[in-house]
């Protein structure tokens, strides 16, 4: 069955870097687009980045975050640089499915918490 396991979160000081990983199983990563979505404590969902036909970013992270993947390891990454307090959130990876008529996200990992604090 499809499984996404996000890891790499933790407590980091402002201005520092962190790399999140998302290990995919039960499907071939290279055949799908992949998103990162985050949720600040007590807040709603915020789209962060997409690795699909191209790479796309939210304005709030553009130039600081990089989405990438290693298809040989079936793993998605999010490299986060110049972290700010407002980046504190649970980060979810999610699988994008494209059909001839629809685009949607059908599977989500359980998330990894990133806390940016001095």
Partner 1 sequence: DIQMTQSPSSLSASVGDRVNITCRASQRIGNFVSWYYQKPGRAPKLLIYGASNLQSGVPSRFSGSGSGADFTLTISSLQPEDFAAYYCQQFYSTPNTFGQGTKLEIK
Q: 76 or 109: whose CB is closer to partner 1?
A: 109
For residue 112, give the nearest of 14, 1, 5, 32 by alpha carbon. 5
- Tell me the closest approach of the beta carbon of residue 63 to partner 1, in angstroms: 15
CA distance 40 to 107: 20
- Tell me the closest approach of the beta carbon of residue 44 to partner 1, in angstroms: 4
* Contact indicator for 75, 23 with CB cutoff of 8 Å: yes
- Tell me the closest approach of the beta carbon of residue 13 to partner 1, in angstroms: 26
- Residues found near partner 1 in the complex (CB under 8 A): 35, 44-47, 50, 56-59, 92, 101-111
């Amino acid at each position: 069955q499809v499984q996404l396991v996000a890891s790499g979160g933790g407590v980091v000081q402002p201005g520092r870097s962190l790399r999140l990983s998302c290990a995919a199983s039960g499907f071939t990563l290279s055949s799908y687009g992949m998103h990162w979505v985050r949720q600040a404590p007590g807040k709603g969902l915020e789209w962060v980045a997409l690795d699909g036909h191209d790479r796309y970013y939210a304005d709030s992270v553009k130039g600081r975050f990089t989405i990438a993947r290693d298809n040989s390891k079936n793993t998605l990454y999010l490299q986060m640089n110049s972290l700010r307090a407002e980046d504190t959130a649970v980060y979810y990876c999610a699988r994008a499915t494209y059909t001839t008529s629809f685009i949607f996200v059908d599977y989500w990992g359980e998330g990894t918490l990133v806390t940016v604090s001095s």
